[in-house]
Amino acid sequence: MRDAVDGPVKTGPSGSAPTTSGTRTAYPLYVAGKLGGAAVSLLAVLVTSFFLFRIIPGDPVKAMTHGVPTSAEQLATLRKQFGLDLPLWQQFTDYCGRALTGDLGTSYQFHAPVGELIAEKLPATLLLTGTAVLIYSALGLWLGTRSAWRNGSLSDRVNTGVALTLWSVPSFWLGLLLIIVFSVGIGPVPGMFPTGGMESGDSSGFGYVLDVAHHMVLPVATLVAVGYAQTLLVMRSSLLDEMGGDYLTTARAKGLRDDLVRRRHAVPNALLPTVTMVFINLGHVAAGSILVETVFSWPGLGGLFYQALSVPDLPLVQGLFVVFAGAMILMNLLADLLYPLLDPRVGR
């Protein structure tokens, strides 16, 4: 049975009511287009990353040997090892050739394959930032919905006020504060959490899982606290836009419970901008958070990127750039693929 509620949703740009079969034929084309676009973006990223970081001033060999007794021969050897003695076009073709086979090169400062270095730290970053993004997205969605639904109420004002305040707090400062209060302990609050790191180093199996969870609490709390306001505000404003909709009046007129009107009718229609943002945030997950990773000594990619940039360790920055951009492209692709399912107006 279809009621008036689906009116605004189902009316396509052409004004004609779509048929299910129409969506079916359009979707594969839409998917193919998006996949092609993503592939082109990825290729562009591969090429850009090579040139982008060569604009950074600084000679990696000089930077790495600064303060260390180094002879002119050693400098020459290092240049040769790194391939920096070759002309730029040759470095570029070498890079492309390797990149196509999945080899991102060898880090200058860590003397190890870039792929290996990234693979070593990627899980830690995904775990920390991924958990935080999921939690703060859910929290933001939930609180944003409540705030909008009771627009102007005390709880709305408190919710948005608190969220905005936390959003404006520098994450490293909040992190340090949490360490002082909940790690070291202050007054009656006992030191409950480790001061940093990802594990104690002596556990295995289930103990290891608990140990990592124990280490994750404060950094995740920091990221959630400074991050959830974004989702909350977007969700709140897009739901407010929907709240004047006639279809909601209709739904209420039918005698539906307020709770249901919100959950079944208003929220799904208001969800699209928020979903876009959640995916953008998920795209950022790979890049981690340099500040929070630093304060909590979390062994993630954010810190690695900083170290790579300060040399500059060209193969490593290039590799990380490709991974970060790749994650973004992937998440955008996923969002694009999801839209038509969330909102049939998209993709036709």
CB of 82 to another protein, least distance (A): 10
Distance CA(317)–CA(99), nearest Å, equals 14
The answer to whether 11 contacts another protein (rule: CB under 8 A) is no
Q: Which of residues 165-184 bind another protein (CB under 8 A)?
A: 172, 176, 179-180, 183-184
Element spanning 185, H or E: strand 185-186
CB of 42 to another protein, least distance (A): 27
Element spanning 190, H or E: strand 189-190
The answer to whether 244 contacts another protein (rule: CB under 8 A) is no
Q: Which of residues 252-271 bind another protein (CB under 8 A)?
A: 254-260, 263-265, 268-269
CB of 299 to another protein, least distance (A): 4
Residue 56: CA atoms inside 13 Å, Cβ hemisphere, count? Answer: 17
The answer to whether 54 contacts another protein (rule: CB under 8 A) is no
Q: How far is CA 221 from CA 54, 165, 232, 298, 331, in A?
A: 37, 15, 16, 14, 24
CB of 47 to another protein, least distance (A): 25
The answer to whether 63 contacts another protein (rule: CB under 8 A) is yes
Phi, psi torsion values for 189, nearest 5 degrees:
-80, 120
The answer to whether 297 contacts another protein (rule: CB under 8 A) is yes
Which is it for the CA torsion 19, 21, 22, 26, positive or negative?
positive
Task: Decide whether 125 or 230 has the Cβ nearer to another protein.
Answer: 125
CB of 345 to another protein, least distance (A): 11
The answer to whether 9 contacts another protein (rule: CB under 8 A) is yes
Q: What is the CA radius of gyration of the chain?
A: 25
Cis upstream peptide for 312 (omega within 30°): yes
Q: Which of residues 75-134 bind another protein (CB under 8 A)?
A: 75, 77-78, 81, 106, 109-112, 117, 120-121
